[in-house]
Amino acid sequence: MKQGMGKVAVGAAVIGAAAVVGVAALVVRQRMKNSSRWARAMAILKEFEEKCATPEAKLRQVADALTVEMHAGLASEGGSKLKMLISYVDSLPTGNEEGAFYALDLGGTNFRVLRVQLGGKTGGIVHQEFAEVSIPPALMSGTSDALFDYIVENLASFVAEEEHRFQQPPDRQKELGFTFSFPVMQTSLNTGTIIGWTKGFSISDAVGQDVVAELTKALKRKGVEMRVAALVNDTIGTLAGGRYSNKDVCIAVILGTGTNAAYVERAQAIPKWHGPLPQSGEMVINMEWGNFRSSHLPLTEYDQTLDVESLNPGDQIFEKLTSGMYLGEILRRVLLKMAQEASLFGDTVPPKLKTPSILRTPDMSAMHHDQSSDLRVVASTLKDVFEISNTSLKTRRVVVELCNIIATRGARLAAAGIFGVLKKMGRDTLREGGGKTAIAMDGGLYEHYTKYRECLEKTLQELLGTETAATIVVEHANDGSGIGAALLAASNSHYRGDEASSGDKPSPTPETFT
């Protein structure tokens, strides 16, 4: 009996030992599997980092390529991927403007109406008011008359409400600057043909019509006495707003959902300009630089698939690398590859990680700026956006590193773009007689994504060198698309030169920009 029990005990011991060996083998296999997965994740990260690299030499090539395209775009229509649109703005605000001016800012599913009271040479902006109105979805695909009648009805209510605050001289017509952020072929400062609609609008009977004429007809139908003095886009508005408060501003850059730049060009350097030379000798150019592309831009497989699957394949390549609409989506695409090929988030790929555009750039910014020791903002963002929970700290560190790679590339390329514009203007080196050059920046990406902004400004200094960088001022010009349009109505007013007292009257000649 004892001998039998001994055999059982030995057998059990052997089975137990085998089980232990089996478990140990499983653990080793799992560790090897995890180790090879991690190695794959690191390989994807390293390759992405290398493809996104923006050494100074590459940035100088990008800037030179942009300058070449600027010349080509100024030479002829369609001569470049850069449209280099003539804005017909040859008179920016001087700071002497006086009186009440209005702005209408139509750029999406909401529109804004503003009124700005200007106090002349010493008064600056005395007072400003605005109202924001949603556009009913039915009007976004209705008729031109219906849309503009609705806009003017709200504008009229706004004017009536604020009338007591702003005493307009009885013999003086109200004037308005119109920011219209849809494709337009501009033919003068206050005329422009609608080329098409974007952002969910589809008003077919307005296409091919002059947008200012459509607005003016609605003003007449509704009995509103108001002249549209200027038709502008948000970048030109930012330039005007920046110039009003700082005479050295001659470039404006928007870095928000999209990106664009405008600058002051010598009229004689615009071969495609066939009109009479403006008195100022200069003209504001709307670059539409989001459409810039060059073989020097550091594109990855993720950028290429994003472009192919976008609404505008082949277009807006520079914008797709630098602006807020796309940075979060690039991050999602890299994370998806890591989940598929390196099981970054476990054995199954989180379903929500496959949803395009689900990760917004503000989410990416929040993760990039996470200062907590356990990266809890990264953890909560992954959970809220993708329903990914229980991530390890080292996985979260990978996410932050990816944020850094994407934001750094975007910011450094944006800086190279600015450097290219400065080169075209001859302001990339010290100027004879000194003088500063100011750049007005606006847009949510620039304003709220601190690490992006800091990287952009540091890179611009790197490209300029210490001495020249000291002469370049980068400043935030808030709400250019609104206030700037009202200021352009003022600087292009029918009553320009009549607003100040005789001893303080500005010259009737438009201000030169340099």
Q: Which CA distances in Å does 116 have to 126, 158, 205, 490? A: 8, 13, 33, 10
| Annotated catalytic residue within 46, 199, 220, 394 | 199
Q: Is 199 a catalytic residue?
A: yes
Measured distance CA(383)–CA(395) in Å, rounded? 13
CB 470 within 8 A of CB 436: no
Which amino acid is located at 502 in the chain? S
> What's 115-144 look like in SS3?
EEEEEHHHHCEEEEEEEEEECCHHHHHCCH
CB 448 within 8 A of CB 365: yes
Closest by CA position to 119, among listed 139, 92, 101, 140: 101
Query: Which residues lie across from 105 on neighbouring strands?
Result: 112, 179
Within a 10 A sphere around the Cβ of 202, how many other Cβ atoms?
Answer: 12
Q: Which CA distances in Å does 47 have to 52, 58, 330, 364, 453? A: 9, 18, 15, 20, 25
| C-alpha torsion angle, residues 393, 397, 399, 402 (rounded to 10) | -170
Residue carrying structure tokens 């307005």: 206
How many helices (H) and strands (E) in the chain? 16, 13
CB 441 within 8 A of CB 477: yes
Question: From start to end of 348-413, where are the E strands?
Answer: none
Which amino acid is located at 342 in the chain? A
Within a 10 A sphere around the Cβ of 242, how many other Cβ atoms?
Answer: 29
Which amino acid is located at 343 in the chain? S
Specify whether the backbone of 410 is left (phi greater than 0), alpha (psi in -120 to 50) or beta: alpha
Q: Which CA distances in Å does 403 have to 367, 406, 409, 472? A: 8, 5, 10, 28
| Annotated catalytic residue within 90, 210, 234, 428 | 234
Report helix, strand or coil for 283: strand
Measured distance CA(453)–CA(414) in Å, rounded? 10
**CB burial readout 218-236, b (16+ within 10 A) else e:** bbeeeebebbbbbbbbbbb
Query: Which residues lie across from 106 on neighbouring strands?
Result: 111, 180
Long-range contacts of 498-502 (CB under 8 A, 24+ apart): 499/96, 499/97, 499/98, 499/99, 499/120, 500/96, 500/98, 500/120, 500/121
In the chain, what is the straight-line distance between the N-terminal and C-terminal CA atoms, in Å? 110
Catalytic residue numbers read 199, 234
